[in-house]
A and B are shown apart, each in its own frame.
Chain A
Amino acid sequence: MLAAKSARGLVAPAVILTAGVFLAPFLLLLAMSLWSQPPGSLMLDVTPTGENYRRITTDAYYMGGLARTIWLSLATTAICAVLSLPLAWWIVRRAGRFRGLILAVVLIPMVCGALLPTLGIVNLIGPLGVLNGTLKSLGLIERSWKLLGTQAGILIGLVHAFLPLMVLPLVASMDRLPRDAEGAAMSLGARRRAVWTRIILPLCAPGLLAGSALVFCATLTAFVTPLILGQGKIPTFATMAYQQASLVLDWPFASALAVVMLAILAAIGALGWAVRQALPGAAR
């Protein structure tokens, strides 16, 4: 055990760094979203105004983008959940000594960053890419299947990028399942489907919930994958914010877009927390 004084000293640099450099800007963002930038000027007008928010909520472009983004996030989360459950289960119960290797594969999208796998996906699903090339040479299709620049293409990229965020919490929660739970259920007469619906899914619910929240939030704010795989044709909320901040240079408006994203995430967080409380075994 350390004395409280030295413990505080040890923690201090990290706390200062995180609170000062990470947390403080979020507060400033709220203020900056109320500023304005007269058209054609780079000077900021710091008198508080709700104009930026009015523009977001009344312009169909932004509201449409928001709806599209939420739909993409929901779809990504659902697909990730469906793909992750069998994979996680297989990793925990069947992979045996290949477990490490398979987990390394699962980690790939996380450790390669947002960009490099996206580059591979471009060559995978592009008009001259591996997928279309294979299908064509097999004679299954005549003209290329258009994925790049469509929502389907973006969805492929998002699912790939954020699948680990779902698999890892699921693996962790399945690891905690008592090994004999299924056997016990079966000995009591439960069939395979009942074992899943009555034992495995309820016990994995916290992992599934955590994974879903992570995937949803990550998707909602992703802009690299949608921008590249959508080829700029499919604006999402995050790509709009990116363009305002980085290309249009209307920072107050970009701030307002960012605050809206933050608000949605806060709502998701609160919802997730409420669901978590309602789940059986919430006390743990």
Chain B
Amino acid sequence: MKLSAVLWALLTGAVLLFLLAPVAVLIFSAFDDGKFFRFPPRGLSLRWFGAALESPEYRSALINSTIIACVSTAISVTAGLMAATGLSRGGLKSRALVELLLLAPLTLPLVVWAIALLQIYARLGISGTFGGLVLAHAVITLPLSVRILLATLAGIDPQMEEAARSLGARPLRAFLRTTFPLALPGVLTAAVFSFLVSFNDVVVTTFIAGARWMTFPVRMYSQLRGQGVDPITLAIGAMIVALILAAVIAGELKFKWSRRL
């Protein structure tokens, strides 16, 4: 191999290491026995994982996050699939404009929006409510679903549904029997990414979460700003990250997720 090729490989390797390092350190540091992580660690143990599983505040925050993420994902994927179908199969004249509108939340700054939303929610009295959180999460995950599903449907021959109709299937049935099963990997991808975005969101949620519906990232964020890193947070974070990592590697290998984004 030529020197330049070796250098090239080293450089890319270093960048990949940089991408991987924070997550790896997070997982590793959760095994540190001490109350404050230090490297090299004085001892390794699983005790913080045990403590994490027993902590009631964290458990309720995790449950809240999961519920909110599930509901907003359902809304996001349903509305997203409907919109993507209408856009890709409808021949609408305003298609470009509607797409621009639906994808806008991906490019417009969420903090700016959240600062506005905070004030509107306060006025409507839905700040910190389940409905308010789900609505906000549905809105920030919807553009991801739309984008993923538009790309998915673009790869599925629209004539398939027409063939089904000419064979006697009504429109809904034709969709459910032909396009939908073929779009399933895309639907799954949209659902996973919506879930992750909702579950992990702190940027928007920190403005509108309340004591009743506290999500895990918001709790962790206020903890980090206040008391600094706490080992139980590390343990839960490590578990979540490990789960996400496994899901993303599986998803990338099986469904080519990076191409659908």
Contact = CB atoms under 8 A, between A and B. Distances in A.
Complex: A in contact with B (CB within 8 Å) = yes
Interface of A: 1-2, 4, 6-11, 13-15, 17-19, 21-23, 25-26, 28-29, 32, 83-84, 86-87, 90, 94, 100-109, 111-124, 126, 128-130, 132-134, 137, 159-160, 163, 168, 171, 192, 214, 217, 220-221, 223-224, 227-228, 232, 238, 241-242, 245-246, 251, 254-255, 257-259, 261-262, 265, 269
A22 B235 CA distance: 35
A18 to B, nearest CB: 5
Contacts of B68: none
A14 B22 contact: no
A87 B40 CA distance: 30
B16 A123 contact: no
Q: Give 6 closest A-B pairs by Cβ, nearest first.
A: A7-B90, A113-B200, A133-B39, A10-B86, A120-B22, A120-B26
A257 B109 CA distance: 13
B23 to A, nearest CB: 6
Contacts of B258: 100, 103-104, 106-107, 168, 171
Interface in B99-147: 101-102, 104-105, 107-120, 135-136, 138-139, 142-143, 146
Given A106-B19, A108-B245, A224-B202, A262 B112 contact: yes
Contacts of B29: 120, 123
A1 B91 contact: yes
Interface residues of B, number: 96
Given A21-B135, A115-B221, A168-B261, A14 B102 contact: yes
A86 B8 contact: yes
Given A11-B92, A22-B113, A113-B196, 5 more contacts: A1-B91, A14-B102, A26-B113, A29-B115, A124-B22
A interface, by DSSP: helix, strand, loop or mixed?
A: helix
B15 A86 contact: yes
B92 A21 contact: no
A13 B217 CA distance: 29
B112 A258 contact: yes
B37 interface: yes
Contact of A107 (B28, B79, B252): B252
Nearest to A127: B38
A130 B41 CA distance: 9
Contact of A251 (B21, B87, B119, B233): B119
Interface of B: 4, 8-9, 11-12, 15-16, 18-29, 36-40, 79-80, 82-83, 85-87, 89-92, 98, 101-102, 104-105, 107-120, 135-136, 138-139, 142-143, 146, 158, 162, 171, 193, 196-197, 199-203, 206-207, 217, 220-221, 224-225, 229, 233-234, 237, 240-241, 244-245, 248-249, 251-253, 256-258, 261
A15 to B, nearest CB: 6
Interface centre among A6, A8, A107, A262, by most chain B C-beta atoms within 10 angstroms, is A107
Contacts of B83: 10-11, 13-15
A163 to B, nearest CB: 6
Given A113-B201, A116-B240, A217-B107, A101 B39 contact: no
Contact of B112 (A15, A26, A83, A87): A26
A167 to B, nearest CB: 9
